[in-house]
């Protein structure tokens, strides 16, 4: 699996995919709060949808690390981020410092999605 892989590529995939695994694991501890937020924003069946998202973050993150079906893993994460970005990083609904904080989170998530697209384009 890791034959002829540069150390830089391996470290990059470990950090990038590992970030999704870490966030997915962290979301397990925040599941009750996140499901409440999703319900408040009109998501039907919020708990099963949340657990599907957490599972996707962890599984696709591990797939990125292992370079296993990388295009599928990165594509699934892009779709996940497109769905979750406006729900969890809705800076436009806030004012002042809270808006700035949420905007920064939005930009960070947008940057991750764009890097996933770059990863997909370089894997084809």
pTM: 0.88
User: Which pLDDT score, from 0 to 100, does residue 54 have?
Assistant: 98
User: Which pLDDT score, from 0 to 100, does residue 124 have?
Assistant: 77
Q: Is the dihedral of CA 10, 16, 21, 26 positive or negative?
A: positive
User: Which pLDDT score, from 0 to 100, does residue 1 have?
Assistant: 57
User: Which pLDDT score, from 0 to 100, does residue 2 have?
Assistant: 57
Structure-token pair, residue 109: 């998530």
Structure-token pair, residue 70: 């990388």
- The rounded mean pLDDT for the chain is 92
Q: How far apart are CA 19 and CA 123, in angstroms?
A: 20
3-class DSSP assignment, residue 64:
helix
User: Which pLDDT score, from 0 to 100, does residue 60 have?
Assistant: 98
Q: Tell which phi-psi region holds residue 122, choosing left (phi > 0), alpha (psi between -120 and 50) or beta.
A: alpha
Q: Which residues of the chain have pLDDT under 70?
A: 1-3
């Amino acid at each position: 699996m890791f034959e002829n892989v540069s150390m830089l590529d391996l470290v990059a995939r470990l950090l990038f995919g590992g970030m999704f695994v870490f966030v997915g694991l962290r979301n397990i501890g925040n599941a009750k709060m996140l499901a409440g937020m999703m319900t408040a924003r009109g998501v039907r069946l919020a708990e099963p949808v949340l657990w599907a998202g957490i599972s996707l973050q962890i599984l696709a993150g591990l797939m990125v690390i292992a370079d296993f079906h990388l295009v599928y893993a990165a594509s699934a994460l892009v779709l996940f981020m497109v769905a979750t970005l406006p729900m969890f990083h809705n800076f436009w609904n806030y004012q002042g410092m809270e808006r700035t904080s949420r905007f920064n989170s939005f930009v960070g998530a947008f940057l991750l999605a764009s890097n996933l697209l770059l990863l997909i384009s370089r894997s084809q």
